[in-house]
Chain A
C-alpha cells in the first residue's frame, strides 16, 4: 500500500464524518493556538523589556539605594538603608576617574499649568548630564544649564506632549513662565519626541534642576544616580569602585546597589523566558486533552467500522496495514488540527499586535515547532490504542458484527 493510497483512504474515511472530525480537530486547534499565542505574548513581553533597556545608553551604571540579595533587583529587606545624597553624586564624579558623567535623579508628580490649561506631569529633577546619559535631545531651546549642582534655579524643560498640551496651536513655549505645583518656572527647552522608556514616558515629563525638585518635593535624598562610564574603562571594575567609595562614605556599610544594564536585561529576560515557558507548558497540557479527544473519536470510528475492518482483512489487508490505516487517520487529524491551530494562533497574534503595536509579539520558533511536533505526536500516541484495537480484531467476528 503506497503512501498516496494510504493518505487517500484515510482522508476518505475522515471525510465521511465531517462533524465528528471537526469537533475532534477543535481541541487540537485550541491547544496549538493557545501554545502559539501565549508563548508569543510572553516572548513579546521579553523583547519589549530588552528593547527598553537597549534604548538607554550602554556604559551605564545605575546606583540605587538599598542592598539587594541575589535577584539583581533592589530589595526591600535589611532595614532602612543610608540615603543617597547629592554629595554622594558629586563624590563619584570627582573621585573616580573612570566616570565620565553623573546624573542624580529625583522624581515626583505635580500639576503643570499655563494660563487656564493644566495637567498632571511627572517631574524629574536632574542635571545637564542627564541629557547625554539618557540620550535625550532637545527640539527647541536648551537643556538644563551647566550650573553649580547646588543651585536650584526655577527653569524647566518640557516633554513634547506636555509642551503640546500647555501650548496648543504652535505657540512658542520657550521663554514663557509656567507653574509647576506652586512654583513659577521659565521654560528653557522642549524635548524631542522619545516615547516610553524604562516605564517612564519621556514625552510626558518636565525636567527641572535636581535641587529645585528636592525643594518642590521636600526631599533630601536621591531616587537614584545614573553613572556614565568612560568608553575605555571596564564597567565591572568601575562598579566595584563605586561600591567601595559609597561604602566609605556611608560609614563602611555597603548599602547601595549598582545595577548594570546587562545584569538588568539578563534578569528580566530570564524571568520572562521562564514565564513564557511555563505558560507554554500549561497550554501544552491542553494538547494532551485534545489527544484524548482524538482517541475517543478513533475508538468510535473503530467500533463503527468493525465490519469494514473485517472486510478489509478478508480482501487481503494485513494486521499491520489496518494498524497503519487507523494511525494515519489519527495522524492526519492531529496534523490538520496542529496546522489550523497554528493559523488561529497566528491570527490572534496579528490582532493583538494591531491593538498593541508596541508589543513585539511573535511566537518563538521553538514554541511553534514544539506545538506542531507535540500535536502530531499526541495524535499518534493517542491514535495508537484505537489503531491497535482495529488491527487485533478477529476478522470473522468483525465481519459478522452488527
Chain B
C-alpha cells in the first residue's frame, strides 16, 4: 500500500532549517494497522500529512498503491485524496455552520456524487458510528465524542483504502476515546489500512506495529503489543 524511500521534509523557520523528517524509509502493506509515536515536534504529523498527499516531501520517493506521488499533478493528488484517503484530526475539523449530515456529505459533494446516493451514504455512514439520531445537529450541539464520530463518518463515507488519524482521541475522555478506537479497529478488520499518530501507549498497543520518531528519524519499530510506557520508547 505505502512505500517510503529516504523521505526528507525540511521547513525553513527564520532562515534556520528545521528537519521534520529525515531519511524515512517505511513499508506499510495494505490492511496493516500502524501507530506512529514520538515526542512533540518529532515529525509525526508531518509524516501523516505526507502520507495523505497534503504535503509533498522535499526529497525521497513515496509510492501509494503502486503510483509514485511525486509524479502526480495537483489534480491527480486531489483525486487520490478524494477517493483513497480519509483523514481524522485531533480537533475534529467539522464545518461549524453545517449539520452532521452535511459535514459527512462534504467529500461526496466535491466528488460530484448524485444527491440521492449521497443521502443514502450519509445515513449509512452516520448509522455505522451510531449517530442516526443526530443527522441535523450542528457541531456545537454535539459532544466531543459525537463530533469525532461525525468526523470519522466523513472520513469513511468515500470508502477510502487508507485511513489516517492524527491523535484521534487526543481531545476525548477515555470512554469516548475507546468508542472511536473500537470503530477504527473495526474498519481495520474490514480491510482499511490504518495509520494512527498518538502519544498514548494504550492507543499504540492496539496497532499491529509501532513506529517511533525522534527528531524526524525513525528510531524504532516494534509490535504494538510490546509497547509499555512512553518514556522508554523515546530514549535514543
User: Chain A interface (Cβ within 8 Å of chain B)?
Assistant: 1-2, 5, 9, 12-13, 15-16, 307-308, 310-321, 395-396, 399-400
Q: CA–CA, A12 to B106, complex, Å?
A: 13
Are A396 and B154 neighbours in the complex by a CB distance under 8 Å?
Answer: no
Decide: A314 near B87, CB < 8 A? Known: A12-B98, A395-B54: yes
How distant is A320 from chain B, measured CB to nearest CB, in Å? Answer: 8
Taking a contact as CB atoms under 8 Å apart, the answer to whether A312 and B89 are in contact is no
Residues on the B chain within 8 Å of A396, using CB: 49, 54-55
Q: Which chain B residues border A307 with CB–CB below 8 Å? A: 93
When distances are taken between beta carbons in the complex, the residues of chain B under 8 Å from A320 are 75
Kindly provide the distance from the CB of A21 to the nearest chain B CB, expressed in whole angstroms: 13
Of residues A13, A315, A318, which shows the largest number of chain B Cβ atoms within 10 Å of its Cβ?
Answer: A315
Q: Evaluate contact between B54 and A315: CB separation under 8 angstroms.
A: no
Selected from A308, A315, A321, the residue in CB contact (under 8 A) with B87 is: A315
User: What B residues does A318 contact at CB under 8 A?
Assistant: 74-75, 78, 110
Q: How far is the CA of A399 from the CA of B45 in the complex (A)?
A: 11
B69 smallest CB distance to A (angstroms): 14
By beta carbon, the residue of chain B nearest A316 is B82
Measured CA separation A9–B106 after assembly (Å): 10
Is the pair A16, B97 in contact by a Cβ cutoff of 8 Å? yes
Interface of B is mostly: helix
Contacts A12-B97, A396-B54, A396-B55 given; indicate if A315 touches B112 (C-beta within 8 A): no
Shortest C-beta distance, A303 to chain B (Å), equals: 16
Residues in chain A near residue B81, CB distance under 8 A: 313-316
Binding site for A on B (CB under 8 A): 45, 49, 52, 54-55, 74-75, 78-79, 81-83, 87, 89, 93, 95, 97-98, 106-107, 109-112, 154-155, 158
Closest 6 CB pairs of A and B: A316-B82, A318-B78, A315-B107, A317-B110, A16-B97, A395-B54
Contacts of A316 in B (CB 8 A): 78-79, 81-83, 107, 110-111, 158
- Residue in B54, B75, B83, B158 whose beta carbon sits within 8 Å of that of A313 in the complex: B54
Contact A1 B95 (CB under 8 A): no
Which residues on the A side are within 8 Å of B45 (C-beta)? 400
**B74 and A319: CB pair below 8 A?**
yes
Q: How far is the CA of A395 from the CA of B98 in the complex (A)?
A: 20
Instruction: Give B138 Cβ to nearest chain A Cβ, in Å.
Output: 11
Q: How far is the CB of A325 from chain B (nearest CB, A)?
A: 9
Contact of B112 among A2, A319, A400 (CB under 8 A): A2
Whether B98 pairs with A321 at a CB distance below 8 angstroms is: no
Query: Contacts of A5 on B, CB cut-off 8 Å?
Result: 109
Complex CA gap A318/B82 in Å reads 9
Residues of the A chain whose Cβ atoms lie less than 8 Å from the Cβ of B54: 313-314, 395-396, 399
CB <8 Å contact, A13 and B97:
yes
Residue of B nearest to A317 (CB): B110
A312 to B81, CA, bound (A): 11
Shortest Cβ distance from residue B146 to the other chain A in the assembled complex, whole angstroms: 18
- Chain B residues, Cβ within 8 Å of A12: 97-98
Chain A residues within an 8 Å CB radius of B110: 1, 312, 315-318, 321
| Inter-chain contacts of B111 with A (CB < 8 A) | 316
Measured in the bound complex, the distance between the Cα atoms of B48 and A399 in whole Å is: 13
Chain B contacts of A315 at CB under 8 A? 81-82, 87, 106-107, 110, 154-155
B93 touches A399 (CB 8 A): yes
Are B95 and A311 in contact (CB-based, < 8 A)? yes
Question: Is the Cβ of A312 less than 8 Å from the Cβ of B106?
Answer: yes
* Complex interface: chain A residues within 8 A of B83 (CB): 316
Task: Give A18 to B103 CA distance when docked, in angstroms.
Answer: 21
Task: Provide a sorted-by-A list of 18 A–B residue pairs whose CB atoms are within 8 angstroms.
Answer: A1-B112, A2-B112, A5-B109, A9-B109, A311-B95, A314-B52, A314-B81, A315-B81, A315-B82, A316-B78, A316-B110, A317-B78, A318-B74, A318-B78, A318-B110, A320-B75, A395-B55, A399-B89
* Residues A308 and B95 in contact in the complex (CB < 8 Å), given A1-B109, A1-B110, A316-B111: yes
- Give Cα A154–Cα B112 distance, bound, in whole angstroms: 92
Cβ contacts under 8 Å, A317 to chain B: 78, 110
Q: Which residue of A lies closest to B92 (CB)?
A: A311
Q: Bound complex: CA of A13 vs CA of B95, how far in Å?
A: 10
Write the nearest CB–CB distance from A185 to chain B, whole angstroms: 83
Chain A residues within an 8 Å CB radius of B93: 307, 310-311, 314, 399
Which residues of the other chain, B, contact A1 by a CB distance below 8 angstroms? 109-110, 112
Distance between B50 CB and nearest chain A CB, rounded to angstroms: 9
Within the complex, the shortest CB–CB distance from A289 to chain B, in Å, comes to 29
Determine the distance from Cα of A317 to Cα of B110 in the docked complex, in whole angstroms. Answer: 6
Complexed CA–CA distance, A299 and B183 (Å): 39
Question: How far is the CB of B206 from the nearest CB of chain A, in Å?
Answer: 24
Docked pose: A150 CA to B83 CA in angstroms: 103
Distance of A173 Cα from B79 Cα, bound (Å) = 94
Bound together, the chains give a CA A313 to CA B81 distance in angstroms of: 8
Docked Cα-Cα span, A15 to B198, in Å, equals 37
Q: How far is the CA of A399 from the CA of B46 in the complex (A)?
A: 12
CB distance from B55 to the nearest CB of A (A): 5
Residues of B within 8 A of A400 (CB): 45
Task: Identify the closest chain A residue to B80 (Cβ).
Answer: A316
Interface centre among A2, A308, A314, A316 (most CB of B within 10 A): A316
Contacts beyond the supplied A12-B98, A15-B97, A319-B74: 13 A-B pairs with Cβ under 8 Å = A1-B112, A9-B109, A312-B110, A313-B78, A314-B54, A315-B81, A315-B107, A315-B155, A316-B81, A316-B110, A318-B75, A321-B110, A399-B49
